[in-house]
Amino acid sequence: MTLSIQDKAVLINAIRDIPDFPKPGIIFKDITTLLADKDAFKVLMNHLAERYSGYNLTHIAGIDARGFIFGAALAQMLGVGFVPIRKKGKLPYTTVSEKYSLEYGVDEVEIHIDAFSGVESPRVLLMDDLIATGGTAYAAANLINKVGAECVEACFVMGLDFLSGQSKLRDLVEVYTVIGVD
Ligand code: AMP
């Protein structure tokens, strides 16, 4: 269930740091290198599949856009459905939306109103690549609850542990990060 030190190192080494992207002072955690490394991608996905196999999930909800990649792969491995949570204006059917604050201004995420319809007591795992301030994930977890499902945990490949995002999100939902970055 817990990742070995060796496997953790495989994942950490597969993620690339891009300094000053998208703006000065930000170290962008680039997961494209992990995706292109079949062994590292397999280590990650096998770990997640093992962790969540006993959770009785009905769906994985992935956050636009990198959460789609990990979320959809995990949904297939677990044999559950996948639901996208997208930036405003991208989903074609009737949506429910939630605003959240950014450093400057606000952003908005949406989910289809019927995302979990037809399933009794949906149990949903929220998935994204990284939690920074936690604002996006907080809004996404609220959306899952708003459309009548239970968000049982929020899972991230990486957590920026020097930011306070995780503790705020923990007020709403259990949080799991595969790798902590300090
Ligand atoms: P936040 O709402 O602040 O937790 O931001 C989370 C979203 O922004 C996630 O979808 C991440 O993919 C992205 N993000 C924020 N900071 C970084 C970073 N340093 N490197 C890569 N992605 C980031």
pLDDT tens digits, 74-108:
999 999 999 999 999 999 999 999 999 987 789 99
Domain boundaries, position 165: 5-174+177-181
40-49 pLDDT per residue, tens: 999 999 999 9
Counting the structural domains of the chain, the total is 1
Q: Which of 50, 51, 86, 103 is catalytic?
A: 103
What value, to the nearest 5°, has the Cα angle with vertex 67 and ends 165 and 97?
70
Distance 71 CA to ligand 1 centre (A): 16
* Token pair listed for 7: 């496997």
CATH code of residue 77: 3.40.50.2020
Q: Is 103 one of the annotated active-site residues of the chain?
A: yes
- Counting Cα atoms < 13 Å in the Cβ hemisphere of 153 gives 15
**Confidence at residue 144, expressed as pLDDT on a 0 to 100 scale:** 98
Q: Across the 182 residues of the chain, what is the mean pLDDT of every consecutive 10-residue run?
A: 93 97 94 98 98 98 98 98 98 97 90 97 98 95 98 97 89 97 87
165 lines ligand 1 (CB under 6 A): yes
| Ligand 1 site, residue 86, Cβ cutoff 6 A | no
pLDDT of residue 30: 98
